[in-house]
Amino acid sequence: EMWDTFGQELINRNMPATLFVDHKGLGAGGAISVEDMRLLQDNYGWDIANHSWSHSDFTVLESEERIRDITQMSSWMWQNGFEAWDIFAYPLGHYDAATISDISPYLTVGRSVSGRNDTSYLVDPYRMAGRAVDLDVPLTAAQGWVDSAATNKEVLIMTFHGVTDKPVPGEDLVWS
């Protein structure tokens, strides 16, 4: 429901978005399909960006594993025509100096989330704020963020972490 509501709402308002995808979840359990990703990129100007091959915590992987994971996903995205293969969101929001050192030669941009509603941009002028849209966020609140961004012509980063119409038992978030 959330994906249908917000994806369509952004399209209706001509507001392109960036969708970070990992290969592990593609097409599983109602997740977005490769065909739908192409439609969003080619017809609506969305960036389909890199969220890794395995969605593993990069801070616990060995250097070779991080590099293999990121290059495997980047290669798959490139071969499938996704132009934002070099824009990356760290899985689980986790990264450290070793992660950055290992994968930065392969990417242009990396982003993370730090906390529920990121306000670190108040002290770090090079960081953009983001909003997490999880199970406990009322639909009206998220719609308000979209309305405000459209009205004020602002950039809005909303993190939908696993959007599906059915909760997965044992998961904190709804995973697709």
Residues ≥6 apart with Cβ < 8 Å to 111: 87, 88, 89, 90, 128, 130, 157
What is the three-class DSSP state of 50? strand
Per-residue pLDDT of the chain (176 residues; tens, 9 = 90+): 445 566 777 888 888 888 888 888 776 666 778 888 899 999 999 999 999 999 999 999 999 999 999 999 999 999 999 999 988 888 887 888 898 889 889 988 777 665 444 444 444 444 556 777 777 777 788 888 888 878 877 777 777 665 555 555 554 443 33
Instruction: Count CA atoms within 13 Å of residue 154 on its CB side.
Output: 13
pTM of the model: 0.70
